[in-house]
């Protein structure tokens, strides 16, 4: 693994065989598929709604038909849980620890029911259920492998990398009055199989934005460790510790490199000068059931892991944000989110980076029972940003063709570089996520980059993508 992570070994040797690029690409593609496909061996039968309800009752130890005297209390508690579940992907990023645990916990319809991954995930889930019941601690694990191949470009055109995440949530406070408190953490390791990691592919082909924001390289890091406290059933909450500010602002349901789009016009906020993870805090107030105000503050010199707070207290250089979100539900359509984000980052004196600020606008709306459309605009000035203006729009269909667990997405994007000597760049992305097993997803996709701003040699570049994710 060490040799692979540093570009060595057989895969590195194969990448040097420039005389047979087609064979090399096919071999790598088949290697990624071989990791995924053998995990399935029998077709699943999707359980009926009645069976799922009975199973839920057995799992939680409650009857599927509660006593009439308890129905009012249960309905109120159920409504709070439904509201919290509905708002979770709208107010916190899909890759946030709590949302990842929620996704791993939910029983998903899938194409295949049995296989090495499923057989491993079942005892893990049983262990996790007992652990959470007895201690309040719930753990999660995910391993994601990404393959990307560009059709042209001035530099290296192919990249394969992996991302390992071990995360958890430890609930320590939970009262009948709606007060909850828990500790969250995320331990992460990123590695590459090829000369470059996928996060570097965009730079190598002359794109002003990245073809993925993650899948870089670093050793094991404790990336997040924080305390989260909520009151009044989540109407007021705060988080403090080593945090990822990207998880709180400019959020919409599909802002995830792990499960939806990969290109940064959709999976990131390229016009906001986010630092690496560092010490910070978030507070959110739901002033009305559908109106939410979120403020964050964080170390502008974050190191990307839990560590000393010297840079915060010695330099006092901060990223501050304010986010206003409205989450209405429209009859005949469904849930929506409309947001405004303001941000400012102090100058980083030692690094020689000027201050910066900007604004972002976001609209997401369900347009059918299984489909949502979105549009986002961002403006950023200073802070060494490479993109000044960005616009992206698209749609995602959940369970297309009545295939439970699958998702199809398409989006268009445009960016104007901060450097006035560079031309505007246009792009498009499409993906189809296949829910192969309860804990296994396979996602092929394609990006088109038109008029890449940092490449005068190519008018159009295509990027083929294949992502495999195991999570439980």
pLDDT digits (tens, 9 = 90+) for 126-184: 899 999 999 999 999 999 999 999 998 887 899 999 999 999 999 999 888 889 999 99
Higher pLDDT, 364 or 87: 364
Number of residues in the chain:
472
User: Sign (positive/negative) of CA torsion 286, 290, 293, 299?
Assistant: positive
Q: Which pLDDT score, from 0 to 100, does residue 78 have?
A: 53
Q: Which pLDDT score, from 0 to 100, does residue 226 have?
A: 97
Q: CA–CA separation, 300 vs 319, rounded Å?
A: 5
The pair of three-digit structure tokens given for residue 439, joined into one six-digit string: 């804990």
Residue 391 CB contacts under 8 Å (≥ 6 apart), including other chains: 375, 376, 377, 413, 414, 415
CB 270 within 8 A of CB 362: no
pTM metric for this prediction: 0.81
Q: CA–CA separation, 250 vs 397, rounded Å?
A: 21
pLDDT band at 48 (very low <50, low <70, confident <90, very high): very low
Q: CA–CA separation, 156 vs 452, rounded Å?
A: 15
Residue 40: how many CA atoms within 13 Å on its side-chain side? 21
Mean pLDDT of the chain: 82
Average pLDDT of the segment spanning 234-246: 94
Q: CA–CA separation, 28 vs 9, rounded Å?
A: 14
Residue 358 CB contacts under 8 Å (≥ 6 apart), including other chains: 271, 272, 342, 343, 378, 379, 380, 381
Q: Which domains does the chain have, with CATH numbers?
A: 2-45+91-471 (2.40.160.180)
Helix, coil or strand: residue 143 = strand
pLDDT band at 361 (very low <50, low <70, confident <90, very high): very high
Q: Worst-scoring range by mean pLDDT, 46-55, 291-300, 390-399, 461-470?
A: 46-55
* Helix (DSSP H) and strand (DSSP E) numbers for the chain: 10, 19
Which one-letter DSSP state was computed for residue 348?
B
pLDDT band at 121 (very low <50, low <70, confident <90, very high): confident
Q: 396-440: per-residue pLDDT in tens? A: 999 998 888 899 999 999 999 999 999 999 999 999 999 988 889
Q: CA–CA separation, 114 vs 466, rounded Å?
A: 22
Q: 365-395: per-residue pLDDT in tens? A: 999 999 999 999 999 999 999 999 999 999 9
Pick from 55-69, 114-128, 141-155, 310-324 the range whose average pLDDT is largest: 141-155
What does the angle CA 227 – CA 231 – CA 235 come to, to the nearest 5 degrees? Answer: 110
Bin 405: left if φ > 0, else alpha if -120 < ψ < 50, else beta. left
* CB neighbours of residue 33 within 10 Å: 15
Give the distance from CA 421 to its chain's centroid: 33
pLDDT band at 195 (very low <50, low <70, confident <90, very high): very high
Q: CA–CA separation, 89 vs 106, rounded Å?
A: 14
The pair of three-digit structure tokens given for residue 88, joined into one six-digit string: 């979770």
């Amino acid at each position: 693994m060490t040799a692979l992570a540093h570009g060595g070994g057989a895969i590195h040797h194969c990448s040097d065989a420039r005389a047979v690029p087609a064979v090399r690409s096919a071999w790598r593609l088949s290697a990624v598929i071989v990791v995924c496909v053998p995990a399935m061996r029998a077709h699943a039968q999707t359980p009926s709604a009645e069976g799922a309800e009975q199973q839920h009752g057995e799992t939680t130890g409650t009857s599927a038909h509660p006593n009439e005297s308890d129905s009012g209390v249960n309905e109120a508690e159920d409504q709070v849980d439904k509201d919290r579940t509905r708002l979770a992907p709208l107010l916190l990023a899909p890759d946030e620890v709590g949302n990842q645990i929620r996704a791993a916990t939910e029983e998903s319809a899938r194409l295949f029911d049995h296989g090495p991954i499923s057989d491993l995930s079942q005892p893990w889930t049983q262990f996790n259920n007992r652990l959470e019941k007895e201690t309040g601690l719930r753990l999660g694990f995910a391993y994601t492998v990404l393959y990307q191949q560009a059709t042209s470009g001035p530099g290296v055109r192919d990249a394969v990398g992996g991302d390992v995440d071990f995360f958890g949530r430890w609930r320590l406070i939970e009262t009948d009055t709606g007060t909850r408190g828990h500790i969250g953490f995320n331990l992460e390791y990123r590695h590459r199989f090829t000369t470059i990691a996928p996060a570097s592919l965009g730079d190598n082909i002359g794109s002003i934005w990245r073809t993925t924001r993650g899948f870089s390289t670093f050793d094991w890091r404790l990336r997040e460790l924080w305390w989260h406290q909520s009151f009044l059933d989540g109407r007021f909450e705060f988080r403090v510790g080593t945090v990822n500010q990207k998880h709180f602002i400019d959020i919409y349901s599909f802002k995830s490199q792990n499960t939806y789009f990969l290109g940064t016009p959709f999976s990131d906020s390229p016009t906001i000068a986010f630092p690496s993870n560092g010490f910070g805090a978030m507070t959110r107030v739901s002033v009305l059931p559908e109106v939410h105000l979120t403020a964050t503050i964080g170390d502008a010199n974050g190191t990307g892991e839990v560590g000393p707070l010297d840079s915060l207290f010695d330099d006092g250089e901060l990223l501050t944000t304010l986010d206003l979100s409205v989450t209405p539900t429209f009859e005949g359509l469904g849930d929506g989110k409309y947001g405004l984000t303001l941000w400012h980052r102090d100058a980083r004196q030692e690094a020689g980076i000027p201050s910066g600020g900007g604004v972002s606008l976001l609209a997401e709306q369900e347009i059918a029972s299984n489909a949502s459309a979105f549009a986002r605009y961002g403006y950023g000035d200073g802070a060494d940003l490479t993109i000044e203006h960005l616009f992206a729009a698209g749609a995602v269909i959940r369970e297309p063709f009545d295939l439970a667990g699958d998702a199809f997405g398409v989006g268009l994007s445009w960016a104007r570089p901060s450097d006035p000597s560079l031309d505007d760049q246009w792009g498009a992305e499409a993906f189809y996520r296949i829910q192969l097993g309860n804990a296994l997803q396979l996602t092929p996709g394609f990006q088109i980059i038109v008029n890449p701003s940092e490449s005068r040699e190519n008018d159009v570049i295509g990027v083929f993508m294949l992502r495999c994710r195991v999570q439980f």
